[in-house]
Amino acid sequence: MANRKKMTGAQMVCESLLREGVEVMFGYPGGAILPFYQTLPQYPKLRHILVRHEQGAGHAADGYSRATGRVGVAVATSGPGATNLTTALATAQMDSSPMIAITGQVPRSAIGKDAFQETDVTGVSMPVTKHNYLVMETRDIPRIMKEAFYIARTGRPGPVLIDIPKDVQQEEAEFEYPDGVDLPGFRPVLDGHPAQIKKAAGLIDEAQRPLIIAGHGVIISRAYAELLDLAEKTGIPVITTLLGISGFPGDHPLHMGMPGMHGLAWNNLAIDEADVIVAIGMRFDDRVTGKVSTFAPRAKIVHIDIDPAEIGKNVKAHVPIVGDVKRVLTQLNQHVTARHDHPDRKEWRRRVDKMKKEHPSLRIRDAKGLLPQYVCSALSEVTHGDSIIVTGVGQHQMWAAQHYVFRDQGTFISSGGLGTMGFEIPAAMGAQVGRPDKTVWSVAGDGGFQMTLPELGTIAQEKIPVKFAILNNSFLGMVRQWQEIFYQRQYVATPLFSPDFMKLAEAYGMMGLRVKDKAGVGPAIHQAMKHDGPVIVEFVVVEEESVYPMIPPGLSVNEMIEEPEKMVAMQDSKEASS
């Protein structure tokens, strides 16, 4: 066969990466992965970015993948290198992000002997990957690489780990890249069942108070046009889950924003009144549903998801449809009746608009100091809602989700399922590498920023022009908020010392800007945007600000706290009754 060539395992990995269209990978070398690294100079088309910690490599690959829709690649050595990747793998797994992790392993003869830097990484990563491989024969590398990429990106995407012993990388065998895969046990259903589609269309047509809840699946499947089509044709308001944000234009009249624990009040109230909910590529996370038994009590639910295991997992679906969101919506759009102007729909939209007016969840009150909500809203205005926003986890994440109006699609990147602090720096770096055409803003907390800040070194070395907005409240803010509400303001282990972020910027050769008042916010964002390198903007914000609305965990919509006064009343009544 003409295609066949003898090469080492390491060369085979590189050759396979090229065949899969990989241009860049994020990694960190070490003994067990050295044969691979020493082969890289033979493949100048494969760009390697040296991170400062393997967790950073994983999040960067994840951020790259979310921003581009392509498969991100992370590389690490055996033992500690590979275990450092696990948080990033779990993050990608929870959020269905396609990723390939390549790890070195001790030589085959040393496996199971507690060799230096040996860890059973396939065992360790099993629960946090979609699939994983330990490669025991060099000749298997092309097949495994082909399968791994296929599995990572097909059906419900996810991370796949390939662990390759050092001697397998060194040994030679014949390389022939397969055209396809043969995985009889893995055949995701892509098209929706026609009878179910018709049933769903019938339910949607008859509904008087319908809602769409769009999740990450819309973005993963790049089904923006199809979702827009469905919403406009039927006149149904669109709620987006945290990871569904930017799946529907934020300035569209049918756009409603986020539901759930910190969702905008009208969304939770509308869900409570809805008679039909079309749940698209979302998994009824507990942060969305709150107390499941009181979630959407009046609604029949159409649940569209690529993963059959999601259907009925948390919330009963009246019409389940398994399939790829883009394909199912294309089918559904052919069957639903155009009802945008129907009196029922107009009445329902009037009702929803009234709720919006009565519950001004996005109102930013006057305050003495700088409010973080104001910063997020200004960021949205100055960037015209057109930047890629990568957040950490905590209050700043919620404020960014609430106040930034995403006009472009697939531009909100955040760790939703796992809620991984430390995601904000490396994922933003990966997103910027994948999308050099866009401005990438990392909206960070002072806590999360300090978890992975060594990656500033990577960013400086590679001249990656990410802009960082640190909302510095001198606390682990979201935990402080819980202590305030549920533990009578006992602030244990949440007040936080930070380094001088301006000196840190200087140390890494970056532009640093510190803002302490409202007047400085706009100009600083403008200045950061104009600078063609990385910038750290520290916003010194009010320390004890909380995220509202909030439905305390396990409670229902009726127990939503919409503003601080109500929270104080709730605490008083709790204290009185305790």
Ligand X SMILES: Cc1ncc(C[n+]2csc(CCOP(=O)(O)OP(=O)(O)O)c2C)c(N)n1
Q: Using the structure block, give the residue that is written with the tokens 């049933």.
A: 199
Q: Which residue is nearest to ligand X (CB)?
A: 445
Least Cβ distance, residue 345 to ligand X (angstroms)? 38
Could you say which of 256, 398, 451, 478 is catalytic? 478
Using alpha carbons only, give the angle 277, 283, 284 rounded to the nearest 5 degrees.
65
What residue type is assigned to position 253 of the chain? P
Q: How far is the CB of 573 from ligand X (least distance, A)?
A: 26
Q: Are 60 and 426 in contact (CB under 8 A)?
A: yes
C-alpha to C-alpha distance for 141 and 138, rounded to whole angstroms: 6
Which residue, 158 or 477, has its beta carbon nearer to ligand X? 477
Which of 146, 396 has the CB closer to ligand X?
A: 396
Instruction: Report d(CA 236, CA 204) in Å as an integer.
Output: 9
Enter the DSSP assignment of 438: S
Interface contacts to ligand X, rule CB under 6 A:
392-396, 419-422, 445-448, 471, 473, 475-479
Looking at the Cβ atoms of 297 and 495, the one nearer to ligand X is: 495
- Angle, CA 297 vertex, CA 571 and CA 486 arms, to 5°: 15
Q: Is 117 one of the catalytic residues?
A: yes
Q: Which two tokens stand for residue 63?
A: 């951020």
Residue with tokens 């999601």: 310
Angstrom CA distances, 146 to 5, 99, 141, 159, 489, stand at: 17, 13, 8, 14, 54
Cα 240 to Cα 92, 249, 279, distances in angstroms = 20, 10, 10
Looking at the chain, how many residues does it have?
578
Q: Does residue 116 have an active-site annotation?
A: yes
Catalytic choice (116, 126, 346, 543): 116
C-beta of 242: minimal distance to ligand X in Å? 13
Choice between 201 and 451, CB closer to ligand X: 451
Comparison of 36 and 468: residue with beta carbon closer to ligand X: 468
> Strands, DSSP E only, in 5-83?
5-8, 24-27, 47-50, 72-76
Whole-number minimum distance, CB 373 to ligand X, in Å?
12
Minimum distance, C-beta of residue 477 to ligand X, in the bound complex (Å) = 2
Question: Least distance (Å) from ligand X to the CB of residue 522?
Answer: 21
Count the neighbouring beta carbons within 10 Å of the beta carbon of residue 520. 17
* Burial category of 466 from C-beta neighbours within 10 Å (exposed 0-12, middle 13-18, buried 19 and up): buried
State which residue, 52 or 480, has the beta carbon closest to ligand X: 480
Pick the closer one to ligand X by CB: 414 or 420. 420
If the CB atoms of residues 65 and 420 are measured against ligand X, the closer one turns out to be: 420
Name the active-site residue from 15, 54, 171, 310.
Answer: 54
Q: Are strands 172-175 and 5-8 parallel, antiparallel or unpaired?
A: antiparallel
Q: Assess whether 166 carries a catalytic annotation.
A: yes
Nearest approach, Cβ of residue 471 and ligand X (Å): 6
Peptide bond before residue 523 is cis, with ω within 30 degrees of 0: no
Q: How far apart are CA 352 and CA 64, in angstroms?
A: 37
Least Å from the CB of residue 545 to ligand X: 9
Q: How far apart are CA 553 and CA 555, in angstroms?
A: 6
How far is Cα 17 from Cα 23, in angstroms, rounded to an integer?
8
Cβ contact 196:332 at 8 Å: no
Residue tagged active-site, from 166, 300, 326, 356: 166
- The structure tokens 């039927």 sit at 234
Min dist CB 97 to ligand X, Å, is: 17
Q: Which CB sits closer to ligand X, 270 or 471?
A: 471
Catalytic residue among 117, 461, 527, 571: 117
> In terms of C-beta distances under 8 Å and separation of at least 24 residues, what long-range contacts does 485-490 make, across chains too?
485/546, 485/550, 485/552, 485/561, 485/567, 485/570, 485/571, 486/552, 488/571, 488/575
User: How far is residue 55 from each of residues 72, 86, 417, 528, measured CA to CA in Å?
Assistant: 14, 7, 17, 27
The 3-state DSSP class for residue 125 equals helix
d(CA 115, CA 308): 41
Q: How far is the CB of 78 from ligand X (least distance, A)?
A: 24
Task: For residue 478, indicate whether it is catalytic.
Answer: yes
Nearer to ligand X, 115 or 479 (CB): 479
- Annotated catalytic, 7? no
For the chain, state the CA radius of gyration.
25
Burial class (CB in 10 A: 0-12, 13-18, 19+), 427: buried
Active-site positions read 54, 116-117, 166, 478
